[in-house]
Amino acid sequence: MKELIGDEFQVGRGKICLVKGDITEIETDAIVNAANSTLMGGGGVDGAIHRVGGPKVLEECKRIRAAEWPDGLPTGKAVITSGGNLKAKYVIHTVGPVWHGGNRGEPELLAEAYRNSLNLAVSRRLKTIAFPSISTGAYGYPIEKASRVALTTVKEFLEKEDKVDKVEFVLFSAYDLKVYRGAARGLL
């Protein structure tokens, strides 16, 4: 169950909201899956989205792999499927970078994952989108650094693009929410 926390920031014509909760419970046009390159599900957010979304999401991912990305979805790219059994209408799957110390293009690749997800949402005329904290789980990206990349990228996107009404960051733990709140205070 999501817990609204009241952290909402106006950026251009859109809003950035910080929410503590479970991304699989969010009613929105699209949720973003912090996927692995196989698109076949995994642990963390990816596994939860596939479990709740059900077989339709997996079948669509298999078709995308066969038709477009036979070697796997590259880091920073994004694709879209229906939401299956989720409350969200669509799932945008993106692959964030694995953290290797920050000197292998991780910030740029993480920003690309957010930007490509937002561009895909706009191309489908989606108005609301919810992100998890991409790459900060099993991929080991320090959340303090990742939150700044995420918020800066979304802020810059909303300043230039007026077709997205709301971007939510759905954070699973109180600690993650605290980190994003601190980053937002300095950036938004």
The answer to whether the CB of 131 falls within 8 A of the CB of 114 is yes
> Is 46 known to be catalytic?
yes
Which of 7, 22, 29, 46 does the annotation list as catalytic? 46
Helix axis angle, 143-160 relative to 106-123, nearest 10°?
A: 40
Strands 14-20 and 166-171: parallel
Burial class (CB in 10 A: 0-12, 13-18, 19+), 74: exposed
Measured at the CA of 70, the angle between CA 68 and CA 71, to 5 degrees, comes to 125
Catalytic residues: 46
